[in-house]
Amino acid sequence: MEKGVLITFEGPEGSGKSTQVALLAQELEKRNFKVLCTREPGGTALGEEVRKILLNKVEKMEPLSELFLYAAARFQHTVERIKPALEKGQVIICDRYLDSSIAYQAYGRGLDLQTVEMVNNLATDLIKPDITILLDLDPEEGLGRFKGRELDRMEKENLLFHRRVRQGYLELGNREERFLVFEADLDERELHSLILSKVLYYLVERGG
Ligand code: TYD
């Protein structure tokens, strides 16, 4: 494989991304692909610190400040993790990436779409995912999965916010060819098999 592949997972809260990321990574490793599993915000020392600020430490935050913080974590991640792995020909599986900013900061918070795209262009150095797996789920159902545990700053947003996020994702899914959209409430193993077969098809087609 000459250049690596960037696969991103997206979806609203409680859509089961992390489980699907882990299952996909396991299967690809079994097939001898060199896999890097990572996440945003996070994946670097700076990103993990920014993540704490974004999710728990600070309550009062302007939408634009929020966008910049996610973008700061993203740029560090692009330089430290994504680019080197792509150069080494690895398969990167990233739990959230630039589309999260479009769904949450543009559709959810109501920031101007062009502003969010411009900031993301800088933060990603124009690296677009090859495949984006969207796990679609009704936000009521997703948030319901968190009963009994403390919510983070984003999860605490009201249902209307989370509905706009979902809508944003679905619009992106319709617009961008790289998106593969799945129903997140399928059985975990069944969903995994569907995702795996699409990803393997892509990797084989491009000559991996
Ligand atoms: P996380 O615990 O990773 O959520 P999940 O398990 O649902 O992926 O928290 C990340 C939160 O940050 C999530 O609410 C989505 C939000 N987010 C943004 O608002 N913009 C972004 O650019 C990114 C990457 C995440």
Q: How far from 154 is each of 49, 60, 90, CA to CA, in Å?
A: 16, 12, 31
Nearest ligand 1 atom to the CA of 54 is 12
Cross-strand bridge partners of residue 86: none
Residue 123 CA, ligand 1 centroid: distance in Å: 16
pTM for the model stands at 0.96
Residue pLDDT, tens place only, 108-164 = 999 999 999 999 999 999 999 999 999 999 999 998 888 888 998 999 999 999 999
More confident position, 85 or 145:
85
CA 103 to CA 168: how far, in whole Å? Answer: 5
CATH number at residue 196: 3.40.50.300
The band of 2, judged by pLDDT with boundaries at 50, 70 and 90, is low
Look up the domain containing 70 and give its range. Answer: 5-207
CA 174 to CA 171: how far, in whole Å? Answer: 5
Answer yes or no: is the C-beta of 164 below 6 A from any ligand 1 atom. no
Answer yes or no: is the C-beta of 40 below 6 A from any ligand 1 atom. yes
The band of 59, judged by pLDDT with boundaries at 50, 70 and 90, is confident
Structural domain count, the chain:
1
Residue 54 CA, ligand 1 centroid: distance in Å: 9
Q: What is the DSSP letter of 40?
A: S
Residue 2 CA, ligand 1 centroid: distance in Å: 31
Specify the 3-state DSSP secondary structure of 88.
Answer: coil
